[in-house]
């Protein structure tokens, strides 16, 4: 059983995952953030690979990624940083980024590097399902890196069930068709989340986009196994207290 499925086996209905941009707010913040999130109860952590054209991301994550790039963050440096905490970190880490970054780095080199630093999965929203299945599925499986698929309110039942069969981590249920961090409440996603729940999929489900408050977490976990919080966490890092204090205060609301 892979690391992600182990998490869902232990905690079936209240997973809290945190997303942040590697290299933000400072170039060397990455491992400090991971360490503090782990100490404060994050179930798994999504490490964002900064990219110059992040199509699915809202203003908050775009800004953090832009600052990270200006700080000098890149994939090679990120893997070096993650290697420093491989032995001490016990919380599953997921790499989240855009396919062009992976192509430039080298797909097999990326997967080998992920395996070497203990990455538990990869989210690459702009790699189409059909291309993944035809060209890259065997490679991801060779290096035991679960590919995390995204679904949205527009995804058909047929496609969701196909994704369920291909998944060996979890399915990321995007709560709306907009970018991350918009102002719409998560409650508007109720019909969609109920529809997915009715399919009784074999894969765990996690809701992302527009999770801002504890109330949102409670709402979303009526229908899925957990949530991903991104923009709200990045905003919390901007507060005037220390990085450690900001993370502890933020996580105390959700865990």
Packed helices 75-84 and 30-39: angle between N→C axes, nearest 10 degrees? 40
Among the listed residues 39, 43, 53, 57, the single catalytic one is 57
The pair of three-digit structure tokens given for residue 87, joined into one six-digit string: 């032995």
Task: State how far the Cα of 70 lies from the Cα of 74, in Å rounded to an integer.
Answer: 10
Q: Which residue has the tokens 């508007």?
A: 188
User: Could you tell me the CA-to-CA distances from 2 to 43, 118, 196, 234 in Å, in that order?
Assistant: 14, 11, 24, 28
164 tagged catalytic = no
Please report which helix (H) or strand (E) contains residue 174, including its range: strand 171-174
DSSP class of residue 146 equals P
Among the listed residues 43, 46, 164, 216, the single catalytic one is 46
> Phi and psi at residue 58, in whole multiples of 5°?
-80, -175
57 tagged catalytic = yes
Question: Whose CA is closest to 126, among 49, 231, 40?
Answer: 49
On whether the CB atoms of residues 16 and 230 are closer than 8 A, the answer is: no
Active site members: 46, 57
């Amino acid at each position: 059983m892979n690391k992600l499925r182990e998490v869902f086996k232990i905690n079936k209905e209240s997973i809290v995952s945190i997303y942040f941009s590697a290299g933000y707010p400072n170039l060397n913040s990455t491992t400090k953030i991971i360490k503090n999130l782990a100490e404060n109860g994050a179930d798994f952590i999504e490490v964002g690979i900064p990219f110059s054209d992040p199509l699915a991301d809202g203003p908050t994550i775009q800004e953090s990624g832009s600052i990270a790039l200006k700080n000098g963050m890149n994939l090679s440096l990120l893997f070096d940083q993650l290697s420093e905490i491989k032995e001490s970190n016990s919380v599953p880490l997921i790499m989240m980024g855009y396919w062009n970054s992976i192509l430039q780095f080298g797909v097999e080199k990326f997967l080998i590097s992920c395996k070497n630093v203990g990455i538990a999965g990869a989210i690459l929203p702009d790699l189409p399902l059909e291309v993944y299945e035809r060209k890259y599925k065997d490679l991801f499986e060779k290096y035991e890196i679960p590919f995390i698929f995204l679904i949205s309110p527009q995804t058909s039942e047929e496609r969701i069930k196909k994704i369920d069969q291909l998944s060996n981590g979890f399915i990321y249920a995007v709560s709306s068709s907009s970018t991350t961090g918009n102002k719409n409440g998560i409650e508007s996603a109720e019909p969609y989340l109920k529809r997915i729940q009715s399919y009784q999929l074999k894969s765990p489900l996690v809701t992302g986009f527009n999770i801002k408050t504890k109330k949102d977490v409670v709402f979303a976990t009526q229908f899925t196994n957990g949530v991903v919080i991104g923009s709200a966490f990045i905003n919390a890092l901007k507060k005037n207290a220390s990085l450690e204090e900001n993370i502890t205060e933020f996580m105390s609301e959700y865990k």
